[in-house]
Amino acid sequence: MAITTGFRLPGFNSRRGKQSWDRHTWLYVSVIIAVVLGALVGLIWPEVGQGFEALGKGFVALIKMMIAPIIFCTIVVGVGSIAKAATVGKIGGLALLYFMIMSTFALAIGLVVGNIIHPGSGLDMAASTYDPEGAAEAKTTQEFILGIIPATFFGAFTGESVLQVLFIALLVGFALQGLGDRGAPIMEAVKQLQKLVFRILGMILWLAPIGAFGAIAAVVGKTGISAIWSLGILMVAFYITCILFIVVVLGTLLWAVTRVNIFSLIKYLAREYLLIVGTSSSESALPRLIAKMEHVGVSKPVVGITVPTGYSFNLDGTAIYLTMASLFIATGMGQPMSIGEQIGLLLFMIIASKGAAGVTGAGLATLAGGLQAYRPDLVDGVGVIVGIDRFMSEGRALTNFTGNAVATLLIGTWTKQIDRDRTRRVLSGELPFDESMLDGVDAHGLSDAPDAAGVQELSDSAVSEMAAKEQRARDRAAQR
């Protein structure tokens, strides 16, 4: 039985019956081992640990190398996705407006919590500095604005200013919108380039254990046990913030609009939560979320637009992580951000975090890109974050997933395309979910169909199908 008849669901590749660890699990475990070894070396042989600092700097240099192409591709694809979703009538427009508001709110919460707890205090990361060649800091607002405009179109990609890349990407994205169908081949080329760029980033991330070992060994060697304590505070504060965001913010909004208890929804999605914890990715539960949201009573059109689009634009957990990690690095390097820099970073993150959902390493690259744009002297501090990034990936994924589930119920209620009685019966257990609806989806929640597709392809498929349905409805109305 198909997961949904609202649109064709592209498949995901996974080897069925696989018992051994996959490559992502091996990488995850390798980073954990590297962090532990780095901490031990830094504690036992401080001078030796400081000598490994070059490993962390080298890894960060590789990440910085990929910032410009990643920002360009994700912004161009993201702007194109906004244009598509916005054409799908009330559902798409309302979903996009909600996603932008909630992502901004989540970023702001991360900044508030970060300013309260001051993560990174007590660390000695001051030696991990970065002096951008030829990049003088703007002293006035006029210099800052003029500095965003590159000398040449391609000069933005060879300079140090990420804001210039962002500026060019926005111009290209809106130009492609204006071209309409004539710009489709160019957009497809950018999408293919994006796949190549993230493939390269994926290769670089295999060096994460080495980078994490060097960075942790160096900072622990300089600071001692307080470094481990500071990293632990950041992780605990991040998870507490995510839990409060889900329970207080999303829970209150969900109850106020739909009269659905957030804990009932969490219980209903319990199997998906376990799947996400096991894979450290909310993308693995995407097919199941679509099926369960339809089962709970939300109409197929709302599910078909809201869920895939939310996977690209509604990244609440990632937003909290980006701002808290930025403040952690700034404080740890003894150079806290001013309120103006924090607001500028927030605006950058709102734009730069779109279009790269479900891609391993995208959050790390966006974090480096934001720091490169506003505080390039802090970029090398990303090497320390690599050591604990994997530990926070589950929190990001669970928060993103919950946010998208809540958004689907909210959009369904606002557009009056939800069966409230069925929602009540499903969440109370009277109408349990039939797992046979997911025939063809393996134990990992992924289809074994040969035509694998990512979140972006799924979003495009959903939006295109819904736009085609609306056009057919208009044509039928015109013929009457």
Task: Give residue 402's pLDDT band: very low, low, confident or very high (50, 70, 90).
Answer: very high
- What per-residue confidence (pLDDT) applies to 142? 65
pLDDT at 14: 44
Residue 390: which pLDDT band, with cuts at 50, 70 and 90?
low
* Mean pLDDT (whole number) for 275-303: 78
Residue 6, pLDDT score: 44
Beta bridge pairs of residue 452: 11
Residue 169 is predicted with a pLDDT of 83
pLDDT tens digits, residue range 244-259?
999 999 999 999 999 9
* Predicted pLDDT of residue 16: 42
| pLDDT for the residue 249 | 92
Query: What percentage of residues in the chain have a pLDDT greater than 90?
Result: 9
For range 93-100, the mean pLDDT = 83
Q: Does residue 428 have a pLDDT over 60?
A: yes
pLDDT at 465 over 70: no
- Asked whether residue 109 carries a pLDDT value surpassing 80, the answer given is yes
pLDDT-based confidence at residue 462 (cuts at 50, 70, 90): low
pLDDT over threshold 50, residue 110: yes
Higher pLDDT, 62 or 267: 267
Cα Dmax for the chain: 83
pLDDT of 131 above 60 = no
The string of pLDDT tens digits covering residues 160-192 is 666 777 788 888 888 887 887 788 888 889 888
When pLDDT is cut at 50, 70 and 90, the band that residue 331 belongs to is confident
State mean pLDDT over 209-213.
83
Q: Render pLDDT for 51-83 as a digit per residue (tens, 0 to 9).
A: 887 887 787 778 778 777 877 887 787 776 666
Residue 167 φ then ψ, to 5°: -60, -50
Q: pLDDT averaged over the chain?
A: 74
Q: Which of 325, 369, 134 is nearest to 230 (CA)?
A: 325
Average the pLDDT over 347-375 and give the result.
Answer: 65
Q: Which residue has the higher pLDDT, 100 or 387?
A: 100
| Predicted confidence (pLDDT) at residue 356 exceeds the cutoff of 60 | no
* Least confident stretch, 29-33, 45-49, 362-366: 362-366
> 115 and 345 in contact (C-beta within 8 Å)?
no
Given a cut of 60, is residue 296 above it in pLDDT?
yes
Residues near 32 by Cβ (< 8 Å), separated by ≥ 6?
Answer: 390, 391
CA distance 250 to 255: 9
Q: What is the per-residue pLDDT for 261? A: 93
Position 268 scores a pLDDT of 92
In 3-state terms the chain splits into helix, strand, coil percentages (rounded to 5) of: 75, 0, 25
Please tell me which residue, 2 or 240, carries the higher pLDDT value.
240
Q: How confident is the model over 147-164, as pLDDT tens digits? A: 778 877 887 777 766 677
Whether pLDDT at 447 is above 50: no
Looking at per-residue pLDDT, the higher value among 263 and 232 belongs to 263
The model's confidence at residue 143, banded by pLDDT at 50, 70 and 90, is low
C-alpha 16/C-alpha 447 separation (Å) is 9
Are 114 and 327 within 8 A, CB to CB?
Answer: yes
| Token digits of residue 475 | 């044509």
- Higher pLDDT residue, 103 or 461? 103
Per-residue model confidence (pLDDT) at position 23: 64
* 44's tokens: 């036992």
* Confidence at residue 170, expressed as pLDDT on a 0 to 100 scale: 82
Q: How many Cβ atoms sit within 10 Å of the Cβ of residue 307?
A: 28
Alpha-carbon distance values, 131 to 58, 209, 269, 342, 376 (Å): 15, 25, 47, 20, 7
